[in-house]
Amino acid sequence: MSQTYTDLTETMFPDSMDQWDRYLDPTIQTISLITQYQNFYNQGKFEEANGVIENNPILKRIIVNASTMNKTLDAIMALQRFYFSDFQAYLQNIIQLKGEYASTVKYPKYSVVTYIVHDNTEAFLCLSGNCPIGTPPTNTNFWTPWTARGEKGDSGTGLTPRGTYSITKDYYVNDMVSYNNVWWYATRDNVEVTPSESDRTWVALLKFSADLLTFDNHETTLRSSTFQNALAELAKRGEHVTPVTLTAAGWSETLPYEQTVDVPGGSAELSPIMVSMLPDGAELAAQKAYNKAFGILSSGTAFLNDGSATFKVYKKPAVDITVGLKGV
């Protein structure tokens, strides 16, 4: 029986894979048993017909009946439920950032830790579902590096950031500038050559929407619209996470179900990202309940007002849930 979907008694999914026998064609050795089953069935002696199957288990791999179809139905329903409501949350939470490596901690698969290697802090991803306690991240049987480092130990693209393009400056090969919400790099030394796709002096490296790179700072009432200033504002604001709690009893009674919660510092001008705040070490049942509720929220909509946020869903989460709004 599935531990996640307890009403689906004929499947183990998604907690484990179903172990089913493959079906067989009738043979000369089984044809008499099949005929006996069919005779009982045609006479309306269903108990006797089922007894033939129970006394000869090989017939369960040959005769298709309601029990056979119910196993298939439960497996399909479990698969549909998982992808419909739980899979998005599963993907969003599959990578767990665990911070600095500790030799006394049991790390589950897909944990990411930081670890000092040759005086440098590097990141590692656990790829084993059974990593022994005390296994250092440098053990490639259980971990894989998430930080790449060149022969010299230097990181980067080899380009030289020069800020916003200015027609009065001299530029050199591999200089990088921002102009019209695009990062450009120089292919040759130049002066007074405005970045453009019509000239190979500059090549577009990254393009961004102007909407993404315009921010209002409500503390200073200043707007950042240049590329590097917008990125600086994003860096300050984007890493902050504001926790909000939605209660199971707080949803409206009619579709779409709505709930509004206080968000200190919230503004209709912001576009935060909802992130999981599942506590470390949560029991399996709590993890499943949280992930299911998070998946429901992810499938709905939400928007910020000044000082609050409104969530809309089409299925009510069964538990109270605390999520983070990253960027508020």
- The burial of 192, by beta-carbon neighbours within 10 Å (0-12 exposed, 13-18 middle, 19 or more buried), is given as exposed
Residue 183, in any domain of the structure: yes
Peptide bond into 256 cis (omega under 30): yes
Same domain, 256 and 309: yes
Look at 268 and 319; give whichever has higher pLDDT.
Answer: 319
Alpha helices in 114-202 (DSSP H): none
Same domain, 259 and 203: no
Residue 125, in any domain of the structure: yes
Query: What does the CA dihedral 262, 268, 271, 274 come to, rounded to 10 degrees?
Result: 20
Same domain, 244 and 318: yes
Same domain, 244 and 317: yes
Same domain, 119 and 164: no
**Chain segment 64-107, per-residue pLDDT in tens:** 988 889 999 999 998 888 777 656 666 666 778 888 999 999 99
Q: Tally the domains of the chain.
A: 3
Look at 298 and 119; give whichever has higher pLDDT.
Answer: 298
Output the average pLDDT for the chain.
82
Residue 66, in any domain of the structure: no
Residue 89, in any domain of the structure: no
In what side-by-side order are the strands of the sheet with 202-207? Answer: 160-164, 175-179, 182-186, 202-207
Tell me which of 95-104, 195-204, 244-253, 264-273 is least confident. 264-273
Same domain, 125 and 171: no
Q: What CATH number is associated with residue 167?
A: 2.10.10
Same domain, 141 and 169: no
Residue 17, in any domain of the structure: no
Residue 266, in any domain of the structure: yes
Residue 255, in any domain of the structure: yes
In terms of residue numbers, what domain contains 108? 96-145
Instruction: Give the confidence band of 152 by pLDDT, cuts at 50, 70, 90.
Output: very low
Per DSSP, 16 falls in state: S
Same domain, 114 and 173: no
Residue 275, in any domain of the structure: yes
Same domain, 103 and 138: yes
Same domain, 245 and 194: no
